[in-house]
Amino acid sequence: MRICIVYNAHPTGCSFYRLEMPNAYLGDNYTEFDYVCVDNIANVKDEDLKTVDIWLFNRLWCQGTLDQIRNVYKALTAFGAKVILDLDDYWVLESGHIMYRHYLSTKLDEQIREHIRLADHVTTTTEHLAQKIRLLNKAVTILPNEPYEAYQQYLPDTTAEPEPHLFKIGWFGGAQHQEDIALVEHSFGLLAHDKSLDGRYKIYLGGWNDNNPVYDDYERMLSCRGLNKNYGRIQAADIYSYVGGYNFINATIAPLRDTKFNRLKSELKVVEAGWMGKAIIASETIPYTDILVHGHNGLLIPYGKKDAWYKAVRKFVNEPDYARSLAVQLSKDVRERFDISKTAERRAELYRSIGRKL
């Protein structure tokens, strides 16, 4: 069976986790699937269309009018191929999202809805998002985000840890999380002024980017406007190595506003922390509460409790063995629940069930 992965934007977190990595696992372990990749369907010739059994896309196969979207779908399926559309985020953005104005001006949410309706099958990350997709297309399969250790960044390196006498807390993320980081600003101000903890911990901003002013704002909030001397940066890295930043910390934070859009996100931050053997302090909201149980495998911070992030970090710094015990349990829970080999079986069966029958 010939499967064509179309990378409209690559490499990004979406293309890596939703297209490249899971299909790399299938390609390495299931000989029945033959993969080809393109970055622009406009370059696909008619004779190539005849050879493809399944097309894989993340979010959309083209931008344009609804008629253009329908016409491209007809061309892709003219010779019997099927189209699988993958979605890992809700298509209705909130006003604080960095892409909100772009979605509004281009009516991209309407375009994505039409993609969902037309697709022969839709794959997604969680049951929460699947419920929204089923309102438009009943053919949905949940395939969670999972690491594949053939990618070396997912092999924890305990020898890489700097400053072993310090307890290190990090945040890793892209440029669309200003409102989320704002949740911890008050607590991290308290942390900066707690002299009893000085010299015993470090706060790291992961993904630091000199060329993006958003990271200046992140730094302002996490370092209390530069007043916290226990603050440092982890430089940005590409999609194939950024998870290695977890080797430099003991615990991570995952602040997330409790909104409809965020509740439909995947639990990836928890998965990465657990996979790399790190403790986590996270907002008490879906999707994190689907995995985390407070005091069992992580610490959950109720929405609106401004001091709670400070108290949780202070507890980890004062009780590093407690943090380690939570990390061990989270690692066990994540590795049992997010098993790429089991998900690959479901993915392979999906491909077999809808692939062109010759």
Q: Are 66 and 172 part of one and the same domain?
A: no
Boundaries of domain holding 272: 152-337
Distance in angstroms (rounded) separating the CA atoms of residues 167 and 243: 19
pLDDT of residue 245: 94
The DSSP secondary-structure symbol of 196 reads: G
Q: Are the C-beta atoms of residues 90 and 132 closer than 8 Å to each other?
A: yes
Q: Are 264 and 320 part of one and the same domain?
A: yes
Q: Are 8 and 85 part of one and the same domain?
A: yes
Could you give the number of structural domains in the chain?
2
CA proximity to 177, closest of 269, 103, 244, 110: 269
Q: Are 202 and 297 part of one and the same domain?
A: yes
Q: Are 277 and 192 part of one and the same domain?
A: yes
Task: Please write down the HEC assignment for all residues of 72-137.
Answer: HHHHHHCCCCEEEEEECCCCCCCCCCCCHHHHHHHCHHHHHHHHHHHCCEEEECCHHHHHHHHCCC
Q: Are 135 and 158 part of one and the same domain?
A: no
Backbone angles phi, psi at 133, to 5 degrees: -65, -40
Q: Are 104 and 159 part of one and the same domain?
A: no
User: pLDDT tens track of the chain, all 358 residues?
Assistant: 999 999 988 788 899 999 999 999 999 999 999 999 999 888 888 888 999 999 999 999 999 999 999 999 999 999 999 999 999 999 998 877 777 787 888 889 999 999 999 999 999 999 999 999 999 999 999 999 999 999 999 999 877 667 888 999 999 998 889 999 999 999 999 999 999 999 999 999 999 999 999 999 999 999 999 999 999 999 999 999 999 999 999 999 999 999 999 999 999 999 999 999 999 999 999 999 999 999 999 999 999 899 999 999 999 999 999 999 999 999 999 999 999 999 999 999 999 999 877 5
Q: Are 346 and 323 part of one and the same domain?
A: no
* 4 contact partners, CB below 8 Å, separation of at least 6: 35, 36, 37, 38, 44, 52, 54, 55, 56
Domain CATH for 80 = 3.40.50.2000
Distance in angstroms (rounded) separating the CA atoms of residues 55 and 254: 34
Distance in angstroms (rounded) separating the CA atoms of residues 6 and 298: 37
3-state secondary structure of 244: helix
Identify the helix (H) or strand (E) that includes residue 301.
strand 299-301
Q: Are 191 and 88 part of one and the same domain?
A: no
Q: Are 70 and 128 part of one and the same domain?
A: yes
CA proximity to 335, closest of 134, 137, 148: 148
pLDDT of residue 101: 82
Q: Are 132 and 47 part of one and the same domain?
A: yes
Q: Are the C-beta atoms of residues 143 and 346 closer than 8 Å to each other?
A: yes
**How are the residues of the chain apportioned to helix, strand and coil, as percentages rounded to the nearest 5?**
45, 15, 40
Buried b (16+ CB within 10 A) or exposed e, 191-204: bbebeebeeebbbb
CA distances from 264 to 170, 188, 232, 242, 286 (A): 24, 27, 31, 24, 8
CA proximity to 272, closest of 246, 299, 250, 235: 246
> Which amino acid is located at 269 in the chain?
K
* CA atoms lying within 13 Å on the CB side of residue 189: 11
CA 75 to chain centroid: 31
pLDDT of residue 293: 98
Distance in angstroms (rounded) separating the CA atoms of residues 314 and 191: 8
Strands of 2-6's sheet in order across: 34-38, 2-6, 54-58, 82-87, 121-124, 140-142
Q: Are 238 and 322 part of one and the same domain?
A: yes
